[in-house]
Amino acid sequence: MSKDASQVSPLAPARFPELPVIAGLKAAIGRAGFYKHERPDLLLMLAAPGTQAAGVFTTNAVGSAPTDWCKRALDAGRGSSRGLMVNAGCANAFTGADGDAACRRSLEAAAVKLGLAPNEMLAASTGVIGVVLDDSKIARALPAMELGPVDWLAAAQAIGTTDTFPKGAGAACEIGGAKVAIAGIAKGSGMIAPNMATMLAFVFTDASLPAQILERMLREETESSFNSITVDGDRSTNDCVLLFATGAAESPPIADAKDDRLAGFRAALSQVLADLAIQIVRDGEGATKLVTVSVSGAASDASAKKIARTICESPLVKTAIAGEDANWGRIVAAAGRADEPITREMLSVRFGELWAAKDGMVARDYDEAAMSAYMKRAELEISVNVGAGAGRARMYTCDLTKRYVEINGDYRS
């Protein structure tokens, strides 16, 4: 959790959701002491034999020891992973061979605790970059950690860094008549950008699905969830989303991701991932506004997404939103510098249902008073049309306030 837990984001949900029980899953929470103050910072999870897993990882070229480990473990085991260890307070990124060795030793110790082989373990770390993980702290914490039913709230709290509230989401569906549950937790507040953002997400289901199907669905659904959010445009070294399927629900075996029986599961998974992703934006460091930016009329969906991202990450746009100023000129300028095809004579901007610009110029019915009133809302929708194309995209962001500077200027203090 954050250094100042009293400053909970004004965009936070009213409460942590009631998440479903995932059959075949246990958890343990502890304190390794990566923080000076008293707080949980270590999470272990153990899934039933036969569990399958998949992951999507940061595209940051630096990467980290835990993301490297996960990629190798998933490849070597063909998705057969039963254990997860997550630590907060040390990213163990850009730490060379020493960091790799520390990651391995910590997982070996956790594997003994869980009764697994190390290659059945996956790892995730979050915190300061450039500091080697002190695995001795983890080794000392493990004996006191008791496995039991998953306390989702406590698990979500254990993995946070500058988060001001714990993030969780769940859903229920059916596969071939069998009832299936999905539950997930995430952390993230700053250093958030598309293509995996400092964000971690761990999603669990009791469905019986092979790793190759999990991976395909996870990659596809991540595109419209975690890869469609941005807080500050900074892509972390440690980001990952891991999806585990315990198989305990005894849903019918499925070998093809396009199987019609997966429609309900895919929709439920999409809902959970999107919910977690938007919660991360709601907790953007210093955020006071949740902003949805929709772009249409682009040359392609990819072009629309690039334009939307450029608008979402523009400091001028984000600070104007923080100041509750509908400065649509900054949005137009951001769209123009995305280096994507636009038709200036068709460029239009709408805030909610209020037109700011239309067909290449200020809207004839522009109403400054109505616009100012709209900008005071906590949740804003900005729609931008850039031409006559069929491409469209939606992204989520937040405003940029003085508090963001305070949090990040003080991060290592």
Across the range 45-54, mean pLDDT stands at 97
Question: Which tokens is 326 given?
Answer: 């509908």
pLDDT of residue 196: 35
Tokens 């983890």 sit on residue? 138
pTM for the model stands at 0.93
Domains and CATH numbers, the chain: 25-282 (3.60.70.12), 290-409 (3.10.20.340)
The overall longest dimension of the chain from CA atoms, in Å, is 70
Most confident of 12-26, 51-65, 234-248: 12-26
pLDDT of residue 1: 42
Across the range 48-72, mean pLDDT stands at 92
Question: Which tokens is 71 given?
Answer: 């990629």
pLDDT single digits (tens) 6-31: 589 999 999 999 999 999 999 999 99
Contact 410, 3 (CB under 8 A): yes
List the catalytic residue out of 198, 205, 222, 401.
198
Query: Interior CA angle at 109 toward 105 and 114, to 5°?
Result: 140
Cβ neighbours of residue 409 under 8 Å, at least 6 residues apart?
none
Range list of H helices, 18-129: 65-77, 96-114
SS3 state at 292: strand
**What residue type is assigned to position 89 of the chain?**
G
Task: Verify whether residue 51 is a known catalytic residue.
Answer: no
pLDDT of residue 285: 85
SS3 state at 50: coil
Cβ neighbours of residue 397 under 8 Å, at least 6 residues apart?
229, 230, 231, 281, 284, 291, 293, 312, 313, 318
SS3 state at 189: coil
pLDDT of 292 strictly over 60: yes
- Please give the radius of gyration of the chain, using alpha carbons only, rounded to the nearest integer: 22
pLDDT single digits (tens) 307-346: 999 999 999 999 999 999 999 999 999 999 999 999 999 9
SS3 state at 332: helix
What is the number of other CB atoms lying within 10 angstroms of the CB of residue 63? 17
Across the range 277-303, mean pLDDT stands at 96
